[in-house]
Amino acid sequence: MEHKRIVVAGTDTGVGKTMVAAMLTLGLDACYFKPLQSGTHGGTDTERVKALTGLSPAHFLPERYVFSRPLSPHRASELDGVEINPRALTLPPPASRPLVVELAGGLLVPVTRSLLQVDVLASWRVPVVLCARTSLGTINHTLLSTEALHQRGIEVLGVAFVGEANEDSERTICSFAAVRRLGRLPWIKKPTAAALRKVFKGFTL
């Protein structure tokens, strides 16, 4: 694998980042890391990826911050009485196993009152897989997200689409944003490790 570390970002919350991250973690035999977790009802995303993949504990890094409410990290941390230290969000050094890093929400989500998530991402200098829905509105959201990434000089590996096929929207996004279409993950009612591995074979990183 050329890229030892990959960030999985999304155009919004709930676009399927965790499922894509689980698929990449499985397909690449990588470690999974979610530095910021907002919302613990029903479990954390790390716990979800563990359950989806069935991988050993050695594949998972602990979160740096976990907040109880499903809000933007800047507000969730305030309500939990915790101050986020941006220096605590540095990534571990490259290792023998690839690393898949999942962000919290969209790119312009505030981490603190003076720091956006995309600016933390810029400091990492790690390439990004951008997850986007295939439903109505995805063209606008995805082009805004790729513009934010390009403006900060962040490498975009391409877009991972999630949902039912929408060939025109997918082609239009990749053309205007000048990015690659990595593949599409359909909505899977009962996702399994085997199903995610099968979808991964159709992806190009």
* Alpha-carbon gap, residue 88 to 167, rounded angstroms: 41
In angstroms, the CA 38 to CA 122 distance is 21
Q: How far apart are CA 28 and CA 21, in angstroms?
A: 10
Catalytic residue among 4, 17, 34, 50: 34
d(Cα 120, Cα 116) in Å, to the nearest integer?
7
- Measured CA to CA, the distance from residue 205 to residue 190 in angstroms comes to 25
Please report the pLDDT score of residue 95 as a whole number: 84
Query: What are the backbone dihedrals phi and psi of residue 158, each rounded to the nearest 5 degrees, phi first?
Result: 155, -175
Angle between helices 138-151 and 167-177 (to 10 degrees): 20
> Is 20 within 8 Å of 185 (Cβ atoms)?
yes
Measured CA to CA, the distance from residue 99 to residue 94 in angstroms comes to 8
What are the Cα distances from residue 34, in Å, to 37, 51, 97?
7, 15, 16
- Domains defined for the chain, CATH in brackets: 5-200 (3.40.50.300)
SS (H, E, C) 15-51: CCHHHHHHHHHHHHCCEEECCEEECCCCCCHHHHHHH
Tens of pLDDT along 107-164? 999 999 999 999 999 999 999 999 999 998 999 999 999 999 999 999 999 999 999 9
Q: Could you count the other beta carbons within 10 Å of the beta carbon of residue 162?
A: 23
Is 189 an active-site residue?
no
Q: Is the pLDDT of residue 3 over 80?
A: no
pLDDT tens, residue by residue, 160-178: 999 999 999 999 999 999 9
Q: Is 153 left (phi over 0), alpha (psi -120 to 50) or beta?
A: left
Beta partners for residue 128, in sequence order: 7, 156
**Residue 24 near residue 17 (C-beta atoms within 8 A):** no
Q: Which pairing describes strands 128-133 and 5-10: parallel, antiparallel, or unpaired?
A: parallel
Quick: pLDDT tens for 64-116: 999 999 999 999 999 999 999 999 999 998 888 999 999 999 999 999 999 99
